[in-house]
Amino acid sequence: MKLLQTTPRADGFRMPGEFEPHRGTYMIWPQRPDNWRLGGKPAQRVFAKVATAIAEFEPITVCVNADQYANARAMLPEKVRVVEMSNNDAWVRDCGPTFVKNGDTVRGVDWDFNAWGGLVDGLYFPWDKDDAMAEKICELENADRYRTEGFVLEGGSIHTDGEGTVVVTEECLLSDGRNPDLKRSEIEAHLRDYLGVEKIIWLKRGIYLDETNGHVDNIFSFSAPGECLLAWCEDKSDPQYEISAENLAILENTTDAKGRKLKVRKLRLPSPITITKEESEGVDAIAGTLPRKEGDRLAASYVNFYVVNGGVIFPTFCDPADEEARKTLEEAFPGRRVVGIYAREILLGGGNIHCITQQVPKGGA
């Protein structure tokens, strides 16, 4: 497939909203022992549950390293496609392509990926195999691609309504490890060029202690054009309260690209979740990788759900707020079946359901 020298905006392409129809979904299989406890075995069982749930709604492909192909194939149902594709870790939302479309044509944006901060504050080294994932997935999808050489971005750091608006956080996009030589206005220009958007809404910060420097996908999500969900904390003594309240004020005092005031639904967070001694000791300590220490607070959020054709897959944490989250999502996505999956093992690896999935949109208007 072709490497294009133009930009999506110049070619009339846009990034669709996640709630628009999908051609399918991609995931990457977890295994690295310095991020996933016990060699990734507990996480693999949860990834298999997520893939199986998605397969009830749409086609799904799971990418695996060569030494895990047979294991993944045995753990996943037949209707899940398993493809050997070398990778560094399991976050396809961030290292895979962001798909854009113009009518029936779908293309991929291949962002420069540096593991959430490179040598400044990145989470692992090397990341070269992950940086090659977008090109390989575009090849599988027969999609031409745009490469943003020198401009670092992850899929989890952007969220769009598909109608010209994208939401990001200052904490992430202005961090020192991504594009320190670019001004805010220059970053905005790249977003407009590669996502086909008109309006950029800047939230301040993401979920408290989110190791991705506050990815937007853990604190904010569009549910439809003009409607969104915000991770919410009721406890004023919790550091998250100030973060969420600050972002709510921004959202309530802005308009989208179409001039609409946003309808904001609060999606209450679970109680703080911390790493246990047993969980900490199950992760290999390797230089250059973020350690998992007993007592560390994890960035748990229900906003990190994934929208599929006819459904929503969301994380649960055995918390009283699980059922409230389900009801809020059913209200936000009427007509879709909401499926909860216990996601602690994904959270222990530093992410959540949305982080391990990436959509391939259908063409069309």
Written as one letter, the residue type at 90 is A
CA distance 112 to 69: 27
Catalytic residues, by residue number, are 355
Q: What is the DSSP letter of 82?
A: E
Q: Which of 101, 99, 104, 47 is CA-nearest to residue 76?
A: 47
Q: Which two tokens stand for residue 341?
A: 């999956």
Calculate the alpha carbon distances from 163 to 183, 257, 263, 290, 328 in Å.
25, 7, 15, 37, 23
CA within 13 Å, CB half, 249: 8
Residue 54 near residue 25 (C-beta atoms within 8 A): yes
Contact 251, 223 (CB under 8 A): no
**Partner residues linked to 167 by β-bridges:** 159, 201
Residue type, 257: A
